[in-house]
Amino acid sequence: MKSKVKKKKKSVNNSKNKKRKNTKKTINKKVTKNNQKNLNKDKNNKSKKTIQKSDVESHSKNNINKNNDKSNEINNNLKEVSEIKTLKNNSSKVDDLKKSNISKTKKLEDSNIKLDDTKKTSEVKTLRNNIRLFNVIRYIIVFILIGIIIFCGYKLYVLGRDTIRNKIDSEKLRESVIINKPNTNEEKPNDEENKKPSIEDITIDFNTLLNTNKDTVGWIMFNNDLINNPVVHTSNNFYYLNHTFNKINSVVGTIFMDYRNNSFNDRNVVLFGHSNLDRSMFGSLNDVFKDGFFDREGADIIYIFDTNNNLLKYQIFSYYNINSEEYYITTHFNDQSFQVFINTIKSRSYQNRNIEVTVDDKILTLSTCAGAEGTDRRRVIHAKRIN
């Protein structure tokens, strides 16, 4: 029984324990529920709080953001205001700059205008100076041309005057000093050849010539009397280039012997004369250089009368043109140099005349200008004495 009682007790205890356990469980459950509720409440509260906090935070944030936005706006506005101010300042500066630039540009324009004006004035001045210079040069050229024309006119006048004077004086001189020997032939001359006296029938009145000019050393006749003049001799080769036989200043000059010659007995007697346009003096020597000159009988003979009226005949063996030189007018030689001289002047001749010339011969040289006045070219004729 006891066991049963025990068992019952045990079972009662077990049931109690179970009940207790169950109650505990229920209590625990309730407690857990309450705790969970509380926890949930807490959680909710916490969440509410967090939400509130977050709301507050968000609100504060929003407020802060709003404040920030406002401050940003304010700052932006301030910035804008400052920018506006700066822009205004800048615009004022720009305006000032514009004004200064305008003034500068005006100044530059004024300076450019001044520069242009100065340039224009300088250009005008240079143009005026150039015009003046041009006018001066033109006037100088005109004066020079007028001077040249006057000079040439004067030279032509002097040449014409002296040529006419020389022609008149030469004709008078010939008439007074050329004397024809009396004709001993009883028959009267009928033909033209007898009307003109031969060279042998002529004498020269050297007394009259010497009384007129003491420098007279002879008389020359050549080329059909185109050359028919007295020959003079003085201490230089310049005086008679511009003086006549009467010692009158004249561009025509007269025929003269080289000052280094002593007489017509020298080995090379040199005679000078101008090649005048009217063919006076040695103006007709150019005929020697023409074709057919030597075809006429006696055309190559040059006649010289010395002061003793000895008639000297010279035959042309060489003629040529050459630049001015001293060699062909050499007057004194030894035999060797004279032979070289003869060979040289014969080799220069335009034509081989086939005339023998030796160191025993006497040579006559005629020299004149070959061209215009002042030329360096010379026309030269050499002849040897044949009597």
Chain centroid to Cα 369, Å, comes to 35
Instruction: Provide the CA 334 distance to its chain's centre, in angstroms.
Output: 54
- Tokens (6 digits) for 344: 């040289």
Residue 230: inside a domain, yes or no? Answer: yes
Would you state the pLDDT for residue 138? 84
- 8 Å CB contact between 286 and 275: yes
Please report which confidence band the pLDDT of residue 22 belongs to, taking 50, 70 and 90 as the band edges: low
Phi, psi at 49, each rounded to 5°? -60, -45
Residue 193 pLDDT level (bands cut at 50, 70, 90)? very low
Evaluate whether residue 235 is within a structural domain.
yes
pLDDT at 355 over 90: yes
Instruction: Say if 240 falls within a structural domain.
Output: yes
Closest to 229 (Cα-Cα) out of 171, 292, 285, 164 = 171
Considering the domain boundaries, does residue 204 fall inside one?
Answer: no
Residue 343 lies inside a defined structural domain of this protein = yes
Tally Cβ neighbours within 10 Å of residue 197. Answer: 14
Domain total for the chain? 1
pLDDT at 40: 62
Mean local confidence (pLDDT), 70-92: 67
The whole-number average pLDDT for the span 331-358 is 95
CA 366 → CA 32, 275, 305, 363, distances in Å? 173, 11, 15, 10
pLDDT band at 236 (very low <50, low <70, confident <90, very high): very high
Residue in 221, 230, 368 with CA at minimum distance from that of residue 304 = 221
Asked if residue 269 is part of any domain, the answer here is yes
Residue 301 reports pLDDT greater than 60: yes
Beta strand ranges found along 247-300 (DSSP E) = 256-257, 268-272
Question: Average pLDDT of 226-253?
Answer: 94
**Residue 246 domain-assigned?**
yes
Residue 381 sits in a domain of what CATH number?
2.40.260.10
166: confidence class by pLDDT, cuts 50, 70, 90: confident
Of the ranges 103-112, 139-148, 344-353, the best mean pLDDT one: 344-353
Q: Is residue 203 in a domain?
A: no
- Model pLDDT for residues 254-279, shown as the tens digit of each residue: 999 999 999 999 999 999 999 888 88
The segment with the largest mean pLDDT, out of 55-64, 191-200, 295-304, is 295-304
Averaged confidence pLDDT in the chain: 81
Query: With pLDDT > 90 as the criterion, what percentage of the chain qualifies?
Result: 43
Parallel/antiparallel/unpaired status of strands 256-257 and 227-233: parallel
In this prediction, residue 288 has a pLDDT band, given cuts at 50, 70 and 90, of: very high
The pLDDT tens digits of the residues spanning 24-73 come to 666 666 656 666 666 666 666 555 555 555 555 666 566 666 666 666 66
Domain that holds residue 378: 210-385
Q: What torsion, rounded to 10 degrees, do the Cα atoms 280, 281, 285, 287 define?
A: 20
d(CA 360, CA 338): 10
pTM of the model: 0.64
Q: What is the pLDDT of residues 309-338, one digit of tens each?
A: 999 999 999 999 999 999 999 999 999 999
The tokens describing 264, both together, are 């017509």
